[in-house]
Structure 1
Amino acid sequence: MHTNQRLNVAVLGAGLIGLDLVQRVQQSPYLACRLVVGRDSRALGLRRAAELGCATSAGGAAALIDAGPFDVVFDASSAAAHHEHWAELSATGALLVDLTPSSIGTQVVPTVNGPDALTCRHINLISCGGQASIPLLHAIAQHCKAHYTELVTTVASPTAGRATRLNLDEYIDTTQNALRAFTGAETAKVLVNISPAEPPPPFRVSMTVLASGLDHRRVRAAVQAAAKKVQTSTPGFEITSCTVTEGKATVAAEVTAEGARLPRHAGNLHIINAAAVLLAEQRATSKAR
């Protein structure tokens, strides 16, 4: 830990996700944002980061290495760029928290396997859909033998930036792999809807589990308990339905965003950023012991 007892943090990427991360870090008693990095000096995001009082650079990961060392680096760029960033930053000793669907690094969902993050230097947060669904699906899978899991996510079009749209294939592949890993199901299917509706809809996830041994009381209790854990870092997380029939469970949830910079319909950004900051804070408090 540094003399101010806060971990030094850098953010790679100055889009909507990156700027929200900056604000969350500034509000944390355990973290200090020392640098925001992009690749275009004319980017509006870098100007806004500077207005928030952060040092900025358009020099990419190389500039981050020159300005270091950093304890934690949040990568809010793209899946393709993250592979390059890990290659460049792996030798620095920083904890690299990947908010892209790159599929490299240890996949972590804080309320499911958060303690794993304390010993890892490279964390992958899967996807916003993964963060919203896996706590519930994992909880269900503890009470049955899941054969098939399905996830349908609906995001408002204004929250799906260029990198998100370019990474849709990676998003689907990474989230499907994580669903299989965290539930034990042989088959997983992920579908994504980007809604142009006005007003923009909230972030929604709809899940289906086909399994033997489903008990409606156990499933509902497990889902509610898992949701309460998620709500400690994402208060806008809410179960909207939970139905269990013979061999099939369906669960739906919504996430509304909170904070000054994110609109309420940006729950997809809210939940993954909340997970990223929570893991960094856990690293900070573990070092302080």
Structure 2
Amino acid sequence: MAADEQRPRVAVLGVGLIGVDLADRVHQSRKLELALVAGRDRDSLGLRRAAEAGHPTTAGGIRAVAEAGPFDVVFDATNADSHAEHWVALRPTGTTLIDLTPTGLGTVIVPGVNSHRSAAYRHVNLVSCGGQAAIPVLYAISQSCTPTYIEVVSTGASASAGRATRLNLDQYIATTTAAIRTLTGTRNVKVMVNISPARPAPLFRVAMTVLADSIRPAQVRTGIAAAAHAVRAYTPGFTVTSLAVAPGRISAVVEVAASGGRLPRHAGSVDIINAAAVLLAEQSAAACR
């Protein structure tokens, strides 16, 4: 059997900014085979770009993916309202569905926090771009103290927030809040999202405030540094730009600059969630061998 045939077959469902970038990443991966990119409108810009890049494409949406399968992995890069239907269609096929929409369905996975468990699940939820940026830092903090309140404010450039992102803001907030509660053990969590029309477009930025008793500054700083190092292994543009540790309060800010590919630097929100998705797919492939 040829080397390419041994790689897990992957389909990308959705051809917005996230889906097209995902297709490029899978195509470049030495561990995955891009078998299909599916949209619903044959005249859409994203589907045309995928075809121009030489990727196999279809305008048949989820029906075409189900009929062309089974696939080892399907990335859902569409919208939260459609994801449940997609899982119903793909579940009988035995595929692993990695959800990049903020539905809150499936098992929440964040690299570096609980990604060692990802291969055990066939329905994986990547929370949101803000969740992927914030949770590694918040989890590190929760390992050295017990937060009583967590606040997260994500700010992304308007140019990198597509139609599905704007339609799914309520789900984004609810899903991110629930994931932070689950992975940090903190009940009192507040999540906010800003879409900035500023020019030049700002980098993706996530500001976090944590209230806690018995904060140990040295352990907090060491834990956050280790978390940031781990994230940079798959998202090189991830940077902790501000960290203040005071009695009862921790304030941290991270920024994510997209690096490489067709993404502009300000699209760090797309970069971090897509990098996490491909990493998990590659890890799942390795675990199944």
Shorter-chain-normalised TM-score: which range?
Answer: over 0.9
Give, in whole Å, the separation in 2 of the partners of 1:176 and 1:280: 25
Kindly state the Cα deviation for residue 58 of structure 1 after the two structures are TM-superposed.
1.2
Partner of 2:195: 194
TM-score (norm 1): 0.98
Q: Which moved more, 1:209-218 or 1:130-139?
A: 209-218
Q: Which moved more, 1:129-138 or 1:44-53?
A: 44-53
Kindly state the Cα deviation for residue 113 of structure 1 after the two structures are TM-superposed.
0.3
User: Alignment partner of 1:192: what SS?
Assistant: strand
Give, in whole Å, the separation in 2 of the partners of 1:113 and 1:52: 34
Q: Which amino acid aligns with 1:285?
A: A
Matches within 5 A, 1:270-281: 270-281=271-282
Q: Which amino acid aligns with 2:180?
A: L
Give, in whole Å, the separation in 2 of the partners of 1:230 and 1:60: 32
- Structure 1 runs of 4+ off > 6 angstroms? none
Partner of 1:141: 142
Partner of 2:253: 252
Q: What runs of 5+ residues in structure 2 fail to find an aligned partner?
A: none
Q: What runs of 5+ residues in structure 1 fail to find an aligned partner?
A: none
State whether structure 2 residue 219 is matched by structure 1 residue 218.
yes
Partner of 2:15: 14
Q: Which amino acid aligns with 2:191?
A: V
Partner of 1:172: 173
Kindly state the Cα deviation for residue 177 of structure 1 after the two structures are TM-superposed.
0.6
Q: Which amino acid aligns with 1:141?
A: S
Partner of 2:65: 64
Deviations 1:168-215 (A, max 9, x none): 000000000111111111110001110000000000000011111111
Partner of 1:261: 262
Q: Which amino acid aligns with 1:57?
A: T
Give, in whole Å, the separation in 2 of the partners of 1:53 and 1:116: 34
Aligned length: 288
Kindly state the Cα deviation for residue 17 of structure 1 after the two structures are TM-superposed.
0.4
User: Alignment partner of 1:279: what SS?
Assistant: helix
Q: Which amino acid aligns with 1:31?
A: L
Partner of 1:127: 128
Deviations 1:61-80 (A, max 9, x none): 11111111110000000001
Identity fraction in percent: 57
Q: Which amino acid aligns with 1:186?
A: R
TM-score (norm 2): 0.98
User: Alignment partner of 1:49: what SS?
Assistant: helix
Give, in whole Å, the separation in 1 of the partners of 2:189 and 2:181: 6
Give, in whole Å, the separation in 2 of the partners of 1:20 and 1:56: 14
Partner of 1:206: 207
Deviations 1:78-121 (A, max 9, x none): 00110110011111101100000000000000110001111000
Deviations 1:240-281 (A, max 9, x none): 011111111010010000122100000000000000000000
Kindly state the Cα deviation for residue 238 of structure 1 after the two structures are TM-superposed.
0.4
Partner of 2:94: 93
CA RMSD of aligned residues (A): 1.1
Give, in whole Å, the separation in 2 of the partners of 1:185 and 1:147: 6
Kindly state the Cα deviation for residue 56 of structure 1 after the two structures are TM-superposed.
1.1
Give, in whole Å, the separation in 1 of the partners of 2:79 and 2:133: 20
Give, in whole Å, the separation in 2 of the partners of 1:54 and 1:151: 37
